[in-house]
Amino acid sequence: MTQSAIGNRQSAISETPLQRALRRFLRDRVAVTALGVLVLLFLVGGTFLVLKWANVSWPHSPNEPQLTQKLQPPSAQHLLGTDNLGRDVLSRVLHGTYISLAVGFLAVGVSIVIGIAVGAVSGYFGGWVDNTLMRVVDAIMCFPTFFLILTVIALLGPSIWNVIIVIGLVSWTGVARLVRAEFLSLREMEYVRAARALGQRDVRIIFRHVLPNALAPVYVTAVLGVAGAIMTEAGLSYLGFGVQPPQASWGNIIADGKTYILDAWWLLLFPGIAIFITTLAFYLTGEGLRQAFEQKEGK
Amino acid sequence: MTAFLIRRFLISLVVLALVSLISFFIITLTPGSPYPWGDLNPKISEGVKKAYQKKFHLDQPLHKQYWFIMRDMFTGKLVSNKDERPVLAKIGERVPYTLLLNAVALVIEFSFGIALGIYGARFRGTWRDKSTAVTAFAFIALPGFWISYLLCIFFVKYVQVPLLGLVTFGVQHANEWTYLLDRAWHLFTPALVLAIGGIAVMSRYVRSSMLEALGDDYVRTARAKGLEETAVFYKHALRNSLRPVVTFIGFSLPGMLGGAVIIESIFGYPGMGRLGFEAVLERDYPVLVALNFIAAVLVLAGNLLSDILYAVVDPRVRLE
């Protein structure tokens, strides 16, 4: 018995921080369920992206109007009913999946690249560089984010690429602050000093030595950021400034359906549930990751 | 304290200058015409266009345009591109409504958020704690515009109260009380929608600061004295853990103003968010620049206020 206890203790010590985080994450049932939902969403999104490329209309065509079928309540033929042009709501919701996921991931990708660059430079060099960059971050944080995004998109002209880039350009400040804080403490560590004393260039120290150790909080922010970006895209599409018709997106299905709220509840309810489930899954996965990375052992 | 305030004030000025620069250049540098009419509109002659450009300084180089906008904003002479009313008056008449809406939303957030947070901390680690956590994240994950419509359907069909606008249109009120009640009904639903996300964030804050307080020495002392668990919990731990709640006020301001764009538009509520949305649609540059600037002032003031309140609530905090 003591033998195995010692063995466990040793394996616990020898595992890397990433392995430990993974082990803790897998113990959290809520987070694992949420991750399962996300995997499912990815499969759905991938499948329908392929179907779109292959030009297969299944279960129905998402974009082709069928005016004889308009505003049908949910039935065996149209499981989630049809909209005001007779398009199948289920097909439109399913085809909206990859739009939401793509916007979420690409926008967060943009914001993370900028955030890491600014945060790393700011935290590593310090001094006036840090001061200047952080004041810019403060200034951007003062803007009401959604309103700023809306303004820029409205002036640029709505398209899915503009939505992705603008969300990314506006939402990097949180990542920059996190990375900067990590860099501030990491740059004083002995191994960084040693690297500097060995005459390594700053760029190499930043990317090779410090950055890998500063990434843990970024993973969490990234997952939460995807949820935020999906929500923002839905809001923009709802206002008519996001994904343009006839391409379906969860936000613009709701926008089309709002005229009929008292007659055709299915137009409103189902895409909303899709947004809700997706963002909730991202939030719960992110929360699980945060706990897995942050919590001290035994606490 | 004084030194702190002066330094914070100076930093805020720098940040505000950056805000004005960023908002001006974002708006003017994005491609797209600055005119409230389409490029191909046949009714607009070259002369009309020239006159419009001259009136709003659009024929000047950018740095001069920036200077004119800033000068006019601070002297109060900035007028809207659309109806030529002073921008400050246009925004000023919306501010009370926005503040009222956000104040009601904050009250709802505080009452439910704190309760939910305490509940989670009280039953920490159990299924009750887990389910409050999931509830909180579900609240954050609800799209505001969607829940607005669901609430609209619910209230209109089952409770039968008026929702859209500030007061019911075309109703003569018998006295002040019925008028107030009418206003209250119109305020409640948008405030509730606005508060839903905040309730969740607030409950997470309260929970984690409660847990932190429960691990502190004075709580152990209180327990060691033989105090009852409820007394320890509500008298000792809770009081100390409400400090971050104060910071939350300043923290939540920008989100509330931004988040109100959609919700104010849905409910037809005449707040700053809807003014901004209309200005975006009409390409009303002066209103957009001024609106972003005022929002930034509110945010900075909110942050400063919450820092000061933090020191007032907790004498151990020194502002340096």
Q: Could you report the per-residue pLDDT of A40-67, keeping only the tens digit for each?
A: 999 999 999 999 888 877 788 888 888 8
Predicted confidence band of residue B82 (pLDDT cuts 50, 70, 90):
confident
Residue type, A181: A
**Which residue among A140, A154, A272 places its CB closest to the CB of B280?**
A154
Which range in A13-17, A97-101, B179-183 is most confidently predicted, on average pLDDT? Answer: A97-101
Q: What is the pLDDT of residues B232-255, one digit of tens each?
A: 888 888 887 877 777 777 667 666
Q: What is the pLDDT of residues B30-66, one digit of tens each?
A: 776 667 676 677 777 778 878 877 777 777 888 888 8
Distances from the Cα of B69 to the Cαs of B28, B91, B92, in angstroms? 12, 16, 18
Predicted confidence band of residue A298 (pLDDT cuts 50, 70, 90):
very low
A82 SS3 class:
strand
**Which residue among B144, B254, B265 places its CB closest to the CB of A142?**
B254
Average pLDDT score over residue span A143-152: 85
Distance from CA of A10 to the nearest CA of B (A): 27
Residues A194, B246: Cα–Cα separation, whole Å: 43
Q: Which residue has the tokens 């900075």?
A: B300
Q: What is the pLDDT of residues B25-35, one digit of tens each?
A: 888 877 766 67
Burial letters for A70-85: b for 16+ Cβ neighbours within 10 Å, e otherwise?
ebbebeeebbbbbbbb
Q: What is the pLDDT of residues B139-156, one digit of tens each?
A: 999 998 999 989 888 888
A201 SS3 class:
coil
Predicted confidence band of residue A80 (pLDDT cuts 50, 70, 90):
confident
Whether B182 contacts B162, CB under 8 Å = yes
Catalogue all structural domains in chain A, each as residue range(s) with its CATH number.
17-54+86-294 (1.10.3720.10)
Q: What is the pLDDT of residue A198?
A: 92
Residue of chain B whose alpha carbon sits nearest to that of A141:
B254
Residues A47, A56: Cα–Cα separation, whole Å: 11
Q: What is the pLDDT of residue A124?
A: 92
| Chain A residues close to B281, C-beta within 8 Å | 154
Q: What share of chain B is helix, strand, coil (3-state, %, to 5)?
A: 75, 0, 25
Predicted confidence band of residue A107 (pLDDT cuts 50, 70, 90):
very high
**Which residue among B11, B143, B300 places its CB closest to the CB of A231?**
B143
What's the 3-state SS for B77-128? CCECCCCCCEHHHHHHCCHHHHHHHHHHHHHHHHHHHHHHHHHHHHCCCCHH
Residue of chain B whose alpha carbon sits nearest to that of A233:
B143
Residue of chain A whose alpha carbon sits nearest to that of B34:
A155
Say how many residues make up chain A: 299
What is the DSSP secondary structure assignment for residue B51, as one 8-state letter? Answer: H
Q: What is the pLDDT of residue A11?
A: 54
Predicted confidence band of residue A214 (pLDDT cuts 50, 70, 90):
confident
Whether B309 contacts B246, CB under 8 Å = yes
A230 touches chain B (CB under 8 A): no
Distance from CA of B176 to the nearest CA of A (A): 32
Taking residue A40's Cβ as centre, other Cβ atoms within 10 Å add up to 12
Q: Give the mean pLDDT of chain B.
A: 83
Distance from CA of A256 to the nearest CA of B (A): 12
Residues A85, A66: Cα–Cα separation, whole Å: 6
Long-range contacts of B105-109 (CB under 8 A, 24+ apart): B105/B191, B105/B192, B105/B194, B105/B195, B105/B198, B105/B256, B106/B195, B106/B198, B106/B249, B106/B252, B108/B191, B108/B192, B108/B195, B108/B199, B109/B195, B109/B198, B109/B199, B109/B202, B109/B252
**Which residue among B23, B152, B283 places its CB closest to the CB of A261?**
B152
Contact across the interface for B145 and A143, Cβ inside 8 Å: no
Indicate if the pLDDT at residue A98 is higher than 50. yes
Residues B10, B16: Cα–Cα separation, whole Å: 10
Residue of chain B whose alpha carbon sits nearest to that of A272:
B146
Q: What is the pLDDT of residue B233?
A: 85
Distance from CA of B15 to the nearest CA of A (A): 5
**Which residue among B18, B140, B145 places its CB closest to the CB of A139?**
B18
A62, two tokens: 């998402």
A298 touches chain B (CB under 8 A): no
**Quick one: how far is CA B13 from the chain centroid?**
21
In chain A, the percentage of residues whose pLDDT exceeds 90 is 41
Average pLDDT score over residue span A218-240: 91
Predicted confidence band of residue A278 (pLDDT cuts 50, 70, 90):
very high
Residues A87, A71: Cα–Cα separation, whole Å: 9
| Chain B residues close to A283, C-beta within 8 Å | 137, 140-141
**Which residue among B137, B152, B273 places its CB closest to the CB of A280?**
B137
Give contacts of A 157-216 with B, CB under 8 A. Answer: 157
Residues B143, B151: Cα–Cα separation, whole Å: 12
The H-or-E segment that residue A167 falls in is helix A160-170
Q: How many helices and strands, by DSSP H and E, does chain A display?
A: 14, 0
B246, two tokens: 């104060």
Average pLDDT score over residue span B171-187: 81
Whether B236 contacts B219, CB under 8 Å = yes
Q: What is the pLDDT of residue B319?
A: 66
Q: What is the pLDDT of residues B195-237, one digit of tens each?
A: 998 888 889 888 888 888 888 888 888 888 888 888 888 888 8
Predicted TM-score (pTM) of the model is 0.87
Q: What is the pLDDT of residue B177?
A: 84
Chain B interface test: which of A146, A237, A268, A278 (most B C-beta within 10 Å): A146
Residue type, A117: A
* φ, ψ of residue B97 in degrees (nearest 5): -65, -45
Average pLDDT score over residue span A146-171: 88
Distance from CA of B22 to the nearest CA of A (A): 8
Distance from CA of B25 to the nearest CA of A (A): 11
**Quick one: how far is CA B242 from the chain centroid?**
21
B61, two tokens: 């180089």
Residue of chain A whose alpha carbon sits nearest to that of B140:
A280
A117 touches chain B (CB under 8 A): no
Nearest to B281 by CA among B82, B100, B124: B82
Average pLDDT score over residue span B102-131: 90
Q: What is the pLDDT of residue A299?
A: 38
